[in-house]
Amino acid sequence: MIKKLLRWSGLALLLVFAGMQVFQPERTNPPVLIDVGAPAEVDRILRGACYDCHSHETRWPWYGYVAPISWLLADHVEHARGDLNFSRWPKYDLEAREHTFEEIREQITDDEMPLESYRLLHREARLSDADKAELLRWTGADRAGDR
């Protein structure tokens, strides 16, 4: 009796999982018309640690096509792009850029970005102390007190 219940439960779970795959989120990467224009070293860091969530150059991993992970990942990218989108950087006005630089400095200083969950799966996204210093220089941390 228990074996039969386990078999039917397993089959039901398998059917639910298979059915979930039908509902795939939209995974968009609109065209990038203009680059950020950051120095080469900063560009390397941004592409390795930030662009998957904060640009239109997201590299969607294989597990990003398996529900329910695909739903979570697409939602995460959508919110991340809403907070900061390097593909739209040239359209930011001076005030928006300055605010964004402040946010980037805070996130780096508090070790909040890239997210720990992202760093676990993407070793290349881990920022070294030198990477952090380079990003802080780029965001104007050395001049932040003068503003």
- pLDDT tens digits, 78-103: 999 999 999 988 888 889 989 999 99
pTM for the predicted model, two decimal places: 0.77
At 101 the pLDDT is: 93
b/e map of 88-102 (b: 16 or more CB within 10 Å)?
bbeeeeeeeeeebbe
What are the sequence ranges of the domains in the chain?
25-146
Q: Which residues contact 42 (CB under 8 A, 6 or more apart)?
A: 134, 135, 138
Give the residue, 19 or 111, on which the prediction is more confident. Answer: 111
